[in-house]
Each structure stands twice: as structure tokens, then as C-alpha cells.
Chains A and B, each alone.
Chain A
Amino acid sequence: MAAISLHHYLVLSAIVFSIGVIGVLIRRNLIVNLMSIELMLNAVNLTFIAFSHTLDSMAGQVMVFFVMAVAAAEAVIGLAIIIAVFRHRQSLDPQEMQLLKW
């Protein structure tokens, strides 16, 4: 087998990223949508770390650190919004939230 190179990690990230994209597109559950977004962010983190290792620069790892902080903030706010919306509509299906007026 070939030695593991940067290319392997990039392919893995691409695959996981695409799986996250399907999750956002096809699932009709707000929480699963949010989790698929986290999956995409995770794949991007893997790309950053792989490049940071290849280019021998700490900038990639610092970037991942900030991505994690921002992902935490985003998950918190997203879940709070989901709770607020659920209180009104009693449903987690985005299809039922198409109208601006209740």
C-alpha cells in the first residue's frame, strides 16, 4: 500500500464533508441538520490540521482552535433557537416553518 500522504487526508475530509452536505439537504429534522453542519465543520478541521502538518506551521492548528470556539457558540445559539421555535410549532420539521406569520 502507498504510504499515507496528505492526499489521503484530503480525500477523507472531502468524503465526510459531502456526507454532511447530504445531511443538511435531505433530513427534515432541525437537530439533525445542525449535527450535519457540525460534521462539515469537523471535516474542515481535519483539512486544516493536515495542511498544518504538511506546511509545518502552527497557523492551521490555531485556526482549528478558533473554529471549535465558534462552533461551540453556533451550536449553543442554534439549539436555543430550535427550543424557541419548538415551543411555538411543537415540531422540528423545517417544512412546517415555511410561513412568516404563524
Chain B
Amino acid sequence: MSNLQIMSLSPLIFYLLAALLVLAALMVVFQRNVVHSAMALVAALFLTAILFFTLHAPMVGVLQVLVYAGAIMVLFLFVIMFLNPSALEERRTVWWGCGAVAAMLLAAALIAVTSAGNALENFMIAGEPFGSPEMLAQSLFTDFVLPFEIASVLLLVAIVGAVVLAKREG
């Protein structure tokens, strides 16, 4: 494999997407209105899906939009509307400041760990069909068919559990 960069991704696009993603993540955490947090999370998931597209994973990217941003977040919004929170959370500045400092320390530690190795600094361009639906389906139905079946049972269990938990008593 040769040491090529990602073919058509200019650094400008990556930094733009990265900045927007970090901004959306900050809005999820620091917005006091819950509905605004939820919409910021939708934006963050959408931007992550675009990043997946730049990493030659179109199938996973479109599944992220379909499932995560398109269904799970709608569920979040439904529950938020159902519970109808009227009060905004109070702003505890010192507490939030300490949390921000702790998070920066954590980020610094993670970045230090990932920068330690230098063997994987060159991106290897995979062949054209990499990440296409055919390749994902091939892996999913041959190498990983058992987890696939277990995942479907898991989803069934989750559906039954959610219905039982959220039912009104009596």
C-alpha cells in the first residue's frame, strides 16, 4: 500500500467538518434547553455521517443518518415532548467550569496516548469497492452472521422491554 492521503479530501473540508462537529457536541452538553440539545445532537450525528463518507464508508454513513439521526433522535424528541420539561436547568458556572477542565485533561490524555505510536500515520487507500453495500453485506453474512442474528434477537428484547417498562400501571 502506498502512502497516499485521502484522495479528494482537502484539509479545509476536514477542518470545517471537525470544527462544526465539536461545536455541535458543545451545544449538546452546554445548552440549557433540552430540545436545543437534541437538535444539536442530530446535527452532530449528521456531521459524523459525512465524516464516514470521507472515510470510504458510505454504507455505514447512510445507515447512521437513517437509523441514528433519523429514528433514534426522533424517539428522543418524542419523549422530550411527552415529558414536556418547562424549566430550564439552572446554570452552575463553577461546577460546569470544573467539568470542562476535567474533560480537557481527559482529552489531553487520550491524545497523548494515540500520538505515542507512529506506525499507523500513513493512510492506506483501500480499493474502490471498500465500504460499499456489497462488501459490508459480505462480511455481515459470512464472517459475522452469528452476531447479526443475536443483534436481531437483542432488538426484539429491547422492543418488548420498552413496551413493558413504559406501560401505564393498571
- Where the two chains meet, the residues of A that have a C-beta atom closer than 8 Å to any C-beta of B are 1-12, 14-23, 25-29, 31-32, 34-36, 38-39, 42, 45-46, 49-56, 58-59, 61-62, 64-66, 68-77, 79-84, 86-87, 92
Contacts and interface: CB of A to CB of B under 8 A. Distances in A.
Contacts of A52: 55, 57
A53 B83 CA distance: 41
Interface residues of B, number: 84
A56 B126 CA distance: 6
A24 B96 CA distance: 11
B95 A86 contact: no
B166 to A, nearest CB: 4
Contact of B165 (A17, A46, A81): A81
Contacts of B82: 83
29 contacts: A3-B5, A10-B111, A12-B21, A15-B22, A17-B106, A19-B29, A26-B96, A27-B89, A29-B34, A29-B89, A31-B34, A31-B83, A31-B85, A39-B25, A42-B44, A45-B48, A52-B55, A53-B55, A53-B124, A54-B123, A54-B124, A56-B124, A58-B130, A59-B139, A62-B139, A68-B63, A73-B158, A84-B165, A92-B85
B162 A77 contact: yes
Given A65-B60, A72-B67, A76-B158, 4 more contacts: A7-B121, A21-B103, A22-B29, A26-B99
Contact of A31 (B55, B59, B79, B143): B79
A27 B103 CA distance: 13
Contacts of B122: 5
Contact of B72 (A5, A50, A62, A72): A72
A43 B25 CA distance: 10
Interface of B: 1, 5-6, 9, 11, 14, 18, 21-22, 25-26, 28-29, 34, 37-38, 41, 44-45, 48, 51-52, 55-57, 59-60, 63-64, 67-68, 71-72, 75-76, 79-80, 82-83, 85, 89, 92, 95-96, 98-100, 102-104, 106-107, 110-111, 114-115, 120-124, 126, 130-131, 135-136, 138-140, 143-144, 147, 151, 154-155, 157-159, 161-163, 165-166, 168
B159 A76 contact: yes
Nearest to A38: B41
Report, nearest first, the 3 A-B pairs whose CB atoms are least far apart: A73-B158, A3-B5, A26-B99
B57 A26 contact: no
